[in-house]
Structure 1
Amino acid sequence: MVLLPHGGTGPVTYRAAPRACPAGLYNSCPTAVAPQCNRIQLERWLEGQKSRLIDHPHRHVIFTLPHELHPYWRRNTDRMTRWLFQSVRETLMCFLSDPAYLGAQPGILSVLHTWGRSLTLHPHIHCAITEGGLDDQGLWRLPVRNCFLPIRAVMFKYRGHFLAQLKSAVDCGELSLPDGETPTSSHNLFNRLGRKPWNVNLRERYDNAEGVVEYLARYVRGGRCARVSCQGSGPTRTMSCSATMRTGTTRMADVNGAGRNA
């Protein structure tokens, strides 16, 4: 294949053989906004994560914050991000360390996604959890129940843990309150939220680690614009999820004794 002369930007023309018709491709850049360019970064992230995950079935669980807390999130993003990860981890380990469900330490890859498909604020965490874990003797254990986790009880635990941190922060004066809110009104809101269901969903089961990271890749490395296509007289842009903030992993020992992240 011969690379024809070109400038530093714009299209590059390739020709497979001297008499073949030339084909044009555009130069790439590392920005996440451009779908074609961002694909390179996404593929690199995929390769790195696949080497870290255990090739074993995974479960997908999503933890969401209620929309009533969005004004607090905007004013306390760093704190509430930390509390959200802590609440999710404490909740999962509370149940998965219980012999009634697993009785072992699983591998967990958690991803915070802060926006919905319509690009409105929607903080939630995606968790990819190994369907099994290592017990105190270093043996691999499988889940006791087909349902994996009692999702309603998980919701109660997660909701209570997160609200307890909010209430404590208000009492200590560590939480920046939205306009018009007082400590008393905030406590009243938190009490009401403690009586309503929160969205905690146990989603599809993945047969291997590759399926997990391919699903999460569009949240961690996906751009704001999934693709741009031309229809009629002008371009049509299809928007997708964006603004993933950070990821977290729970470290576990490998079945063979070596350390591995999952």
Structure 2
Amino acid sequence: MVAIQNIFREHAPAYLEKYGDRMPRNHRSVIDAILSCRTPACGMTVYECAGCGKHHHIFRSCGNRHCPACQNQKALDWMDRQLDRQVPGPYFMITFTVPKEIRRFFRSRQSIAYDALFKASSAAMKKLVRDGKFIGGDVPGFFGVLHTWGRTLNYHPHIHYVVAGGAWSKDDNAWHPSRPDFYVPNKALSRICRAKFRDLMRDAGMSRLIDPGIFREGWNVNIQPVGAAEQSIRYLSHYVFKVAISDHRIVDAADGTVTFSYKKPKSRRTRYMELDAQDFMSRFLQHSLPPGFMKVRYYGFMHSCSGVPLENVRASIEMMHAFELVVPETPRDTREKSGPTCPDCGGELKYCYSVLPHQVPEYRGPG
């Protein structure tokens, strides 16, 4: 296994010399973060072992959301929170994929395009949910996660939504369920999303930059019933706080070439791709999100500011089914989260103090 940080350390100088004058500012920030992670540039934390009394000096992580070494615990915490917010009944995974003809536009104007895709797709779902022919409620519950990469680091922006099968109606203060195997019509959802995205681009003055033919073709929308939400939440947790590729997929990095593993959809066979190191860095960095951009968004009764409490939705669904339908119990790791331990004796490490980055070069360590 080769650390992505090592690849960046070796090849970032040449990459910056080649692209530094025209690369996006956030790409430079990601490079700096990855290079500084767990080095003196991020500062240091000093611990004392409660068992043997030895002091340990640990360099701090960068915390950047694009750093492959910093996000694992955040993903697990997010997954647990979402599992706690499930409601009884069926769920759906709904995926909106950007047509390949418009991906270049998305890549060059990410803040506007990603935000518009969220707005258009969520508004399309809300519009169809209100239709009494399908569900007839005005407060659905769902959340979406933006995912921009394919298995070979290619640019493939799409949004996965996890959607509760039904909606709350403010008219009768009751839950209106969907069918277990049908949420809303796929083609209608695709057309409405496409139209709403077109209108948003027109309002933003971007229409002239997009081939109008893209709005006469169908957009790829996939609606898949998934039963309970647990499986979809666990699947998406891998993408909420993780990056396009992690260290365990890097097989080799030598002679200016990076080799990594991947699997095609619906295939168990492991394949390998070789890329020039700078091409690898370019593919990795194209998935860096604009500063401050929210890649996970919540809607309806899943939103923290919803006027319909989640507890009311759960109670309504349970009463509708005479309490025979409840949120399924999901297995959890019940062990308490433990802090760092001493590599010498296994004792618990107690926090002593932190050393700021500008102070670390002056630090000489014990003895």
- Match for 2:233: what amino acid? V
Change (3 A) 1:84 1:223: closer
Which residue of structure 2 lines up, in the alignment, with residue 219 of structure 1?
239
Report the CA distance between 1:81 and its aligned residue: 1.8
1:3-42 matches, within 5 Å, as 7-8=56-57, 33-34=67-68, 38-42=71-75
**How far apart, CA to CA, are the structure 1 residues paired with 2:134 and 2:180?**
6
Change (3 A) 1:239 1:28: farther
Which residue of structure 1 lines up, in the alignment, with residue 96 of structure 2?
63
Report the structure number with the largest CA radius of gyration: 2
Q: Is the 8 A contact 1:30 1:41 kept in 2?
A: no
What secondary structure is seen at the aligned counterpart in 2 of 1:130? strand
- Match for 1:118: what amino acid? T
Change (3 A) 1:3 1:198: farther
Q: 1:110 aligns with which of 144, 153, 161?
A: 144
**How far apart, CA to CA, are the structure 2 residues paired with 1:70 and 1:138?**
42
- Match for 1:166: what amino acid? M
Which residue of structure 2 lines up, in the alignment, with residue 206 of structure 1?
226
Change (3 A) 1:86 1:51: same
Q: Is the 8 A contact 2:135 2:177 kept in 1?
A: yes
Change (3 A) 1:59 1:73: same
Change (3 A) 1:142 1:237: same
Deviation per residue, 1:124-157 (Å, 9 max, x gap): 1111110112112221121158432210111111
1:123-138 matches, within 5 Å, as 123-135=157-169, 136-138=171-173
Structure 1: tracts of 5 or more residues without a match: 11-26, 178-182
Report the CA distance between 1:45 and its aligned residue: 1.6
Report the CA distance between 1:75 and its aligned residue: 3.2
Is the strand fraction higher in 1 or 2? 1
Calculate percent identity across the aligned residue pairs: 24
Change (3 A) 1:243 1:231: closer
Change (3 A) 1:9 1:144: closer
Report the CA distance between 1:123 and its aligned residue: 1.6
1:43-54 matches, within 5 Å, as 43-54=76-87
- Match for 2:166: what amino acid? G
1:67-146 matches, within 5 Å, as 67-104=100-137, 105-135=139-169, 136-144=171-179, 146=181
**How far apart, CA to CA, are the structure 1 residues paired with 2:86 and 2:51?**
38
The reply on whether 1:257 has 2:257 as its aligned counterpart is no
* Count of residues paired in the alignment: 226
Report the CA distance between 1:42 and its aligned residue: 1.7
Change (3 A) 1:6 1:123: same
Deviation per residue, 1:47-100 (Å, 9 max, x gap): 222233324421001111112222322332212222111101110011111111
Q: Is the 8 A contact 2:143 2:299 kept in 1?
A: yes
Q: Is the 8 A contact 1:224 1:239 kept in 2?
A: no
Q: TM-score, normalised on structure 1?
A: 0.71
Deviation per residue, 1:135-181 (Å, 9 max, x gap): 122211211584322101111111111122223433xxxx3x9xxxx
